[in-house]
Amino acid sequence: MKFRFALAALATTAMGLAIAQTPAPTPAPAAPAAAAVEIPPPPKPTATAWVLVDYITGQVLAGENYNERVEPASITKVMTSYVLAAEQKNGKIKPDDQVMMSERAWREGGAGTDGSYSGFAVNKTAPLLDMEKGMAVQSGNDAAIALAEHAAGSQEAFASLMNNYAAQIGMKGSHFVNAHGLSAPEHYSTAYDLALLGRSFIRDYPEQYAFNKIKEFTVGTITQPNRNLLLWRDASVDGIKTGHHSGAGYCLMSSAKRGDQRLVAVVMGSTSEKQRADDSLALLNWGFRFYETHRLYEPGKAIATQRVWKGQAKEVQLGVAQPMLVSVPRGRYDALKPTMDVPKTLVAPITAGQAIGTVKVTLDGKVVAESPLVAITPIEEAGFFKRLWDAFWMWWESE
């Protein structure tokens, strides 16, 4: 009888522990709800291909022909800037490097060509940082070639780097053969790939990305304005890059940030400098009007707890390491559904910041935001007898 009673007590206790081990329900994100808004069709650009992408989620909000192959023109230089930023981060090149303006760079991309140029003196050097700005602001073909030669020895070798980094970003429809974007066989991209590039550049290298909002830059006695007209029209626009040649038409990759929300628009093959700016701003305004970004969880704040075995504390608080944001159609906030995926068994010690699981937020069954769950505070290992006792209960539950 006593044996059966003991078994019943043990079973009851084990059941309680099993329930305690189940994660606490993830709280619904806290933010004021907005009335649902019927979303009208987006403004249609006068362009051969275009796309509007949400920066936070990468979701395509609107677009047409955005997976079709196009000539990227000088938007190519965003890929060049990305590679240069990555190579600086890896210690291969430095901002104060002296970069030679070679005869090839001057001849193929300098003042004697039909393309845009920065005006750095031939067979003389300039700081890498200055040439980066000359390429970003003035769209200098000469600067792009000189920088490619400095970073990789030749423009052809640099193009291989461009393709390697493009593959890492996920640009499956792109291939580069030069650093400046003038028309060449097998030099192509897609509007969607370029939006991916824009998102990656903003996220990975914000310092170099900021060069693209500089309104003018001077090399020697030559001062040239940034060709992105949106920098003068809308204070929320902070980039990214224009492009144009006869084969590509007028192109613009733009981005704007209003509050926590950022959008990236790509318009390819437009009919004029003004038209590409008008269409891009119309797309950005439409996106900001009919989509909204919410800050769901803040770092350092507990959003759930989880049972811990063999620790000095019985539970660990879980949260996110970075702010978790999500963009949804305006008025659909209340339809968001958060869920949590954590291991069934956690054993101390646990360090602060240690990844424990994942929190996901879905809308209409589709994941729109995902972030690692981390331990907010450390859990030290318990003493010998506590560890032994927990080992017994872990064994009991496993039976």
Write the DSSP symbol of residue 246.
T
Angle CA(329)–CA(296)–CA(347) in degrees, nearest 5? 135
3-state secondary structure of 62: strand
CB 71 within 8 A of CB 48: no
Write the DSSP symbol of residue 384.
H
Q: How far is CA 398 from CA 10, 24, 96, 344, in A?
A: 13, 21, 61, 11
CA 141/CA 116 separation, integer angstroms: 6
CA 306/CA 23 separation, integer angstroms: 5
CA 295/CA 131 separation, integer angstroms: 38
Dig out the tokens for 358 from the structure: 């994942």
Write the DSSP symbol of residue 311.
B
> Residues 81, 118, 139, 254: which is the catalytic one?
139
Phi, psi of 239 (to 5 degrees): 165, -175
Closest CA to 307 of 16, 14, 12, 20: 20
CB 128 within 8 A of CB 151: no
CB 281 within 8 A of CB 234: yes
The verdict on whether 310 is a catalytic residue reads: no
The verdict on whether 241 is a catalytic residue reads: no
The verdict on whether 314 is a catalytic residue reads: no
Phi, psi of 214 (to 5 degrees): -65, 130
Bridging pattern class, strands 222-225 and 249-258? unpaired
CB 238 within 8 A of CB 254: no
> Residues 74, 81, 118, 200: which is the catalytic one?
74
Distance of CA 311 to the CA centre of its chain: 38
Which residues are annotated as catalytic? Answer: 74, 77, 139
